[in-house]
Amino acid sequence: MSHATAILDPRLAVSDIDRRIFGGFVEHLGRHIYDGIHEPAHPTADADGFRADVVELVRELGVSSIRYPGGNFVSNYRWEDGIGPRDERPRRLDLAWHSTETNEVGLHEFARWLELVGSELMLAVNLGTRGTAEALDLLEYANADADTTWTRQRAANGRPAPFGVGMWCLGNEMDGPWQVGHRNADDYGKLASQTAKAMRMLDPGIELVVCGSSSSGMPTFGSWERTVLEHTFDDVDFISCHSYYQERFGDAQEFLASGVDMSRFIASVVSIADAVAATKKSDKRIMISFDEWNVWYLHNDEGGQDDKPLEPGWPVAPRLLEDQYNAMDAVVFGDLLITLLQHSDRVRSASLAQLVNVIAPIMTEPGGPAWRQTTFFPFSLTSRLAGERAIRVPVESGTFTSERFGEVATVNAVATLDDDGVTLFVVNRSTTDAESLRVDVAAVAASFGRDLGIVETHLLHDDDRYAANTLADPERVGVVPVPDAQVVDGSLQLSLPPISWAAVRLA
């Protein structure tokens, strides 16, 4: 067993935490909407066709806001197709996922579902095949309280009051050649600036997200951000980051360093945004909306994953991107959440991509059960236990050598503080060694003026790192209390098995 030490001191505050960091993402993709959240024939379905068992799991997950309706889907989407009487809505071909979109679920239905799960709506506009005029139409329909043709139509469709959508994405992954209507940075930046200015004329209170690179691995990464922000700096509040991680070629140790990659990605985008601010002699700070992140097996060892239906033609709700997550995936996932909290001063919004069936923490079977994947647990626990302020937790631990990142700390941690106590989130990235961790909590105890005690602990680990929850065995992997956690003489002491994630609440 290796030995690590850490300090938990409220003077090492990072920032207050914007609860939108615990956001999600729902796209019209595969079985996410249809046969996922919406299945009218399911025994638990309500009058709108939404599965009550899925609603309960999304509530438990604790998702604060949800980005909708895409994703790649939005770049060929006509939002008007999803309003009005359902039996009159058109069926369309979705070019992104080679499927047929029935438009049974649109803005009104999805907003009602959000009320059930307790999440806010974050809308994306189509800047692929459409532009400023269509974005203004959607904004007027959703948010205007004047008497107009669009607001009368909204009322006729059952919603007299505005939806009041506060956060809007100016397209999706517009640097990607796979994106319908993709553009170079200069052209996209001009369109995004024009659209943002017009949208603010209609609703000055909205927050706007401009597209950053689709990933840090894009050939144009860096130059894209700089050019786009030079056009849009005065018009937007956020720039997006997207990143997905997976174990490649059986290299578990490299996979467990994924949080380092995310951290460097964030730091790079922040540096570029602040450099643009400097050239403009501005004190404004562009924040980050990390509105797509997850473990996603985009590429298997043979070189690819099907992202188009196996069925011929253009099927409705085919099974696409239904990754099965294992215990190690969940540990990496928990480390990514730690990383987001460590950067909460600039990451003010984030969206787990996605929520149900499609690279998701929740899986469903048509007519059957819904269950939690392994990644469900670190998200639901972090969302529930995270306090109001993020605290840096300096850790002294062993290291391992990463081919990409050099020497990487074996133990990574962050804490959150509120008026009632403190929560520590910690991960052991080692594939071989357990870690004995001692955390000095004297300073945080002094800030409360009394000793701290353990309220609850949670450990995610499995001796079989590839163990997963499936339809046949939906509870194979879960969380258990940390068996040896204790506070002794001003120190929190606990042991972390190899490849493990833990949360400890002190009060």
The amino acid occupying position 209 is V
| DSSP assignments along 326-366, one per residue | BHHHHHHHHHHHHHHHHTTTTEEEEEEE-SBSSS-SEEE-T
- Say which of 27, 225, 292, 435 is annotated catalytic: 292
End-to-end CA distance of the chain: 28
φ, ψ of residue 368 to 5 degrees: the values are -120, -150
The contacts found for 312-315 with CB under 8 angstroms, 24 or more apart, are 314/93, 314/94, 314/98, 314/99, 314/100, 315/99, 315/100
Bridge partners of residue 207, in order along the sequence: 167
- Tell me whether residue 104 is one of the annotated catalytic residues: no
Matching residue, tokens 């940075």: 185
Cβ within 8 Å of residue 382, ≥6 positions away: 22, 334, 337, 341, 425, 503
* Token couple for 344: 């909460």
71: preceding bond cis by omega (within 30 degrees): yes
- Tell me whether residue 292 is one of the annotated catalytic residues: yes
**391 with 8: CB under 8 angstroms?**
yes
Q: CA nearest 8: which of 302, 446, 500?
A: 446
Decide the pairing of beta strands 23-25 and 65-68: parallel
Helix or strand (DSSP H, E) at 385? helix 376-385
Q: CA nearest 474: which of 324, 318, 358?
A: 324
CA distances from 234 to 198, 200, 283, 351, 443 (A): 13, 11, 11, 24, 41
- Say which of 39, 101, 140, 173 is annotated catalytic: 173
Q: Which is it for the CA torsion 503, 327, 360, 222, positive or negative? A: positive
Active site residues: 173, 292
